[in-house]
Amino acid sequence: MKDDKRTISKKIKQAATEIGFDGCGFCRADFLEEDAGFLNKWLQNGMHQDMHYMENHFEKRVNPAKLVEGAKSVISVFLNYYPSKIQNKKNVPIISKYAYGEDYHFVIKNLLLKLLEKINREIAVVNGRAFVDSAPLLERALAREAGLGWIGKNTNLINPKFGSFIFLGELVIDLELEYDKPLENKCGNCTKCLQACPTKALIKPHVLNSQNCISYLTIEHKHNLPVELSDKFNNIIFGCDICQDVCPFNKKAKPNEISQFQPKEELLEMTVEQWHSIDKEHFDKLFSKSAVKRTKYNGLIRNLEFVKS
C-alpha cells in the first residue's frame, strides 16, 4: 500500500531536516494572483531600475507550475546564515553578512538536489527541479505560502524563530502534498526598518525603490554611484544589512553551524588600509567562492572609492 499524502509530507520534512535545512514547508504550485499584481505595478513604476531581467518570463515568475511539467507542489526550504562573528574594526569597509562564506546558490542547490534524490530513493517517485534564486520565481511569496514566515515591511521573509538572515530554495515537483498554512504577519506597527534605511529606499511598507537601495547600487548597478548619496552608505561596499539588523526578530538570531558559511578570519580582520589597497590577485583569492564576485573586482574598487570619497 502506498503512503498517503500526510505520510509522504511528513517524510519529506524529516528528510529535509536530516539533510540540514532549518525549515521546510509546502504550498500548491499555483498562480500567485495578489503577488502578480504587486509585481506588475512595481515594474511599471520602474522600481527595478536596470534589472531588466525581472521583466522577463512574467508568467513563469508568478506561477511555478509553468516551470515544471505537471507541477503540483512547491517544497520551500531555508537555511540560517547568521554568522558567529562579524566585521568589527572601526571604519572598515563593510560587506553584507550573506557574502561572508561560500556563495549560497551552490551550497543550497547541492542540498536541494540531495533532497530530491532522497525523495525519489526513499519516499516517492517524483519529477522536479531545484531553484535557488536561479529562475523567474517569487521565492519569498512561495515561502510565505508554505508557512515559513511572512514578508516584512523591509521586503524580506521573516521566520519567527530564525529571523530574516535566511537563504531560501525550492523544489517544484509533480506530486501533491499536504500543504501548510501561511503564518500571521507579526510586524504590527513596527517601522524600524523604514526609519533605519539611510537612503530611504524603503519608500513605504513592502515597497523598495531600487534606485536608492545600497544593496542594489553596490551589486547590480553597473554605472557610477549617485553622488547625492555619498554620505549615506555608512562604509558599505557590498550588499546591505541595515534594515535587517534593526529588525526585532533578528535580536535573538543564532549563529549558523554550516561550515561553508563560516567567514574567513582574514576577511574579518582586514584593516581600512588593506581594503583600500586590495589588488586583483588578492580579490580573486579572498572571494574565490564568495557572492562578492558578482560585483567583480572593478565594481568593488568603484564601491571602495565611493565610500572613501
Residues labelled catalytic: 133
Q: Are the beta carbons of 175 and 188 closer than 8 angstroms?
A: no
Beta strand 94-95 with 236-238 is parallel
Report the sign of the C-alpha dihedral through residues 179, 184, 185, 187, in that order: negative
| Residue 85 φ/ψ region, left for φ over 0, alpha for ψ in the -120 to 50 degree band, beta for the rest | beta
Residues 6+ apart with CB under 8 A from 4: none
Q: Are the beta carbons of 79 and 260 closer than 8 angstroms?
A: no
